[in-house]
C-alpha cells in the first residue's frame, strides 16, 4: 500500500514508518520542512493529495513539553497543530479523485514506551539516578503502551479493512497505577523508586490545567482493539520496560 503519514518525522512516526516499510508499504511523509520522501503541508494544500491508499496523521505540538509554559499562545499551538493539519488532510482527501481507503487519526493514547523520545524519555534520567517515584498520590491510573504495539495497532488499522471506528491505544494491563508504573520502572533499572514528585511541583512546572493529565489518571480499556484481533507483543509492563531500557 502507499501510505501518507502526517507528522511522520516524530517519535511515533519514525517507528511507524520503519514498520510500514518493513511490511513492504511505500511511505510519503507530510512535514513542515521539505526533504526527500516528503511533501510539506503547504504543498498538500496547493497540489492536493498524492496518490495513496491510506493516510495517517500524527502531527501535533508536544502537549507535555515541560519547557513550554501552559499559556494561551502554547494552548493555541497545541490545538492548531492538530486541527489545522487534520483539516488540511481532510480537505485534500475530500477533493482527491481516488480517496484513500483508510484514514487514521491518533488522539489520546497511553504514555508511549519507546527508546529516544516521548514522555518516558523525560522520566528515565531521574529514575536512572534513583530519584524517581510516584507522581502525586500515585494512585491515579497510568495507561501506557509499548511503541511497537502502538505502531502495530496503526498498521493493523491501515491494513485490515474490517477495522473501523475508535481503537484505544493502550496496553491490556489497563489498571496499572502510577505508583505501580514507578515501581516497575525502578525494578527494570535496578534502582529504588520511592521519591514522590509532589502535586505542587507538577502544578508549578506544567500549570494547573495540564497537571491534571499527570495527577488524575484515566482507566482506559482496549476492548475494541482486542476485538479487532490485534495481538499485543508487550501486554505486560515489566517486559515492555525491559525492552525499552535494554
Ligand X SMILES: NC(=O)c1ccc[n+]([C@@H]2O[C@H](COP(=O)([O-])OP(=O)(O)OC[C@H]3O[C@@H](n4cnc5c(N)ncnc54)[C@H](OP(=O)(O)O)[C@@H]3O)[C@@H](O)[C@H]2O)c1
Give me the phi and psi of 26, to 5 degrees please: -100, 135
Q: How many residues bind ligand X (CB under 6 A)?
A: 25
Residue from the set 3, 5, 7, 237 that interacts with ligand X by CB under 6 A = 7
Judged by beta carbon, residue 70 or residue 130, the one nearer ligand X is 70
Q: Is 118 in the site for ligand X (CB under 6 A)?
A: yes
Residue from the set 43, 77, 180, 236 that interacts with ligand X by CB under 6 A = 77
Candidates 5-13, 89-97, 180-188, 194-202: pick the segment binding ligand X (CB under 6 A).
5-13
Counting Cα atoms < 13 Å in the Cβ hemisphere of 188 gives 20
Residue 63 belongs to what H/E stretch?
A: none
Residue 57 belongs to what H/E stretch?
A: strand 54-57
By beta-carbon distance, which residue lies closest to ligand X?
Answer: 10
Q: Is 90 in the site for ligand X (CB under 6 A)?
A: no
Residue from the set 39, 88, 104, 111 that interacts with ligand X by CB under 6 A = 111
Q: Is 148 in the site for ligand X (CB under 6 A)?
A: no
Q: Helices marked H in 115-177 — which ranges?
A: 118-128, 147-159
Other C-beta atoms lying within 10 Å of the C-beta of residue 86: 16
Q: How far apart are CA 12 and CA 18, in angstroms?
A: 10
Set of cell numbers at residue 68: 513550554
Judged by beta carbon, residue 221 or residue 229, the one nearer ligand X is 221
- Taking CB under 6 A as the criterion, which residues in 17-36 touch ligand X? 31-33
Q: Which of 155, 209, 208, 116 is nearest to 1 (CA)?
A: 155
Given the rule CB under 6 A, which residues bind ligand X? Answer: 7, 9-13, 31-33, 58-63, 77, 81, 85, 106, 109, 111-112, 117-119
Amino acid at each position: 500500500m502507499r501510505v501518507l503519514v502526517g507528522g511522520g518525522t516524530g517519535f511515533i512516526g519514525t517507528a511507524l514508518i520503519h514498520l510500514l516499510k518493513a511490511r513492504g508499504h511505500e511511505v510519503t511523509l507530510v512535514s513542515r520542512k521539505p526533504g526527500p520522501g516528503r511533501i510539506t503541508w503547504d504543498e498538500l494544500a496547493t497540489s492536493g493529495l498524492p496518490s495513496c491508499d491510506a493516510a495517517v496523521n500524527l502531527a501535533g505540538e508536544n502537549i507535555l513539553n515541560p519547557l513550554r509554559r501552559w499559556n494561551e499562545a502554547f494552548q493555541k499551538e497545541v490545538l492548531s497543530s492538530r486541527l489545522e493539519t487534520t483539516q488540511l488532510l481532510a480537505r485534500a482527501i475530500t477533493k482527491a479523485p481516488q480517496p484513500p481507503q483508510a484514514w487514521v487519526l491518533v488522539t489520546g493514547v497511553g504514555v508511549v514506551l519507546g527508546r529516544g523520545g516521548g514522555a518516558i524519555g523525560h522520566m528515565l534520567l531521574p529514575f536512572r539516578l534513583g530519584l524517581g517515584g510516584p507522581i502525586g498520590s500515585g494512585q491515579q491510573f497510568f495507561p501506557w503502551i509499548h511503541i511497537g504495539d502502538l505502531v502495530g495497532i496503526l498498521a493493523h488499522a491501515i491494513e485490515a479493512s474490517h477495522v473501523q471506528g475508535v481503537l484505544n491505544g493502550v496496553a491490556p494491563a489497563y489498571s496499572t497505577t502510577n505508583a505501580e508504573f514507578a515501581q516497575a520502572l525502578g525494578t527494570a533499572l535496578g534502582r529504588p523508586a520511592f521519591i514522590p514528585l509532589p502535586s505542587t511541583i507538577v502544578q508549578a512546572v506544567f500549570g494547573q490545567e495540564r497537571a491534571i493529565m499527570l495527577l488524575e489518571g484515566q482507566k482506559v480499556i482496549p476492548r475494541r482493539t482486542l476485538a479487532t484481533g490485534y495481538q499485543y507483543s508487550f501486554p505486560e509492563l515489566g517486559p515492555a520496560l525491559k525492552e525499552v531500557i535494554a
